Homo-oligomer: A and B are copies of this chain.
Amino acid sequence: MWVSKEGDVRRRELLDAALALFYEKGCEKTSINDIIDRVGVSKGAFYYYFNSKEDVLEAIAVEYAERILAAARPIVGDDRLSAAEKLNSMVSKVLEYKETLAKERTTLMRVFLQEENLKLVRRIFEKMIAPAGELSTEIIKQGVREGVFDTGSPEDTAELFIYVGTAMKAALAKLVIESQDIKAIERKLHFYEEAFERILGAPKGTIRFAEPMLECIKSDWDTLHS
């Protein structure tokens, strides 16, 4: 007849199917029927594990945000790194330009730019902003102590840092998808390096995340336009 699965195996199946469908056709256009059809269960099963469609969105957002934050935390906690090193690492880490395959990342680009996924993206951002703000604040405070950063309010600067970071991510994704040539993308990246330095009050050359990211972006570009 049907299979009963223990623990949260079913829940995981539903969550994974939902996420896959969000990637494929956007989360607004994904219906509950789509999700249960893919898993091969009934609507009753879905509503056994989730209270609503929103509930799925929320769960996915929480997981996603936690995954990113989990990757960022070790960097901040690493005593051997300087503030500038931490910050550079954070950027590529949080923007997923590390340990993420080009194929997955290019998919994510589309997902994040799609209008259908605005709610999901916003939810993720909201889950991240507070903890990411704290992490960034810590780094910036360290930088001020080290004398490389100069700002009167590390908290506000951290917030702005995150805003500008997401803006950069969006801008880069757009350039890659619109198949601008690599040179233009490189220019944009270096512009943002300098922008970050200005915002943080850091000396020129302190912020350097462009080169490692460029390698990734090149393979993204190849993945998309091959």
Q: Which residues of A contact B (CB under 8 A)?
A: 115, 118-119, 122, 152-153, 156-157, 159-160, 163-164, 167, 171, 187-188, 191-192, 194-195, 198-199, 201
Tell me the dominant secondary structure on chain A's binding face.
Answer: helix
Given known A118-B118, A198-B199, contact A163–B159 (CB-CB < 8 A): no
The one of B122, B163, B194 that contacts A164, using a Cβ cutoff of 8 Å:
B163
Q: Which residues of B have CB within 8 Å of A167?
A: 160, 163-164, 167
A192 to B171, CA, bound (A): 21
A156 to B167, CA, bound (A): 12
For A171, the closest partner residue in chain B by CB is B159
Q: Which residues of B have CB within 8 Å of A191?
A: 152-153, 156-157, 160
Q: Which residues of B have CB within 8 Å of A163?
A: 163-164, 167
A149 to B93, CA, bound (A): 32
Q: Which residues of B have CB within 8 Å of A199?
A: 195, 198-199
Could you show 16 A-B contacts with beta carbons less than 8 Å apart? A115-B119, A118-B122, A152-B191, A152-B194, A153-B191, A156-B188, A156-B191, A159-B171, A160-B164, A160-B167, A163-B163, A163-B164, A163-B167, A164-B167, A195-B199, A198-B199
Q: Which residues of B have CB within 8 Å of A194?
A: 152
Contact A160 B195 (CB under 8 A): yes
Q: Which residues of B have CB within 8 Å of A156?
A: 187-188, 191
Q: Which residues of B have CB within 8 Å of A119?
A: 115, 118
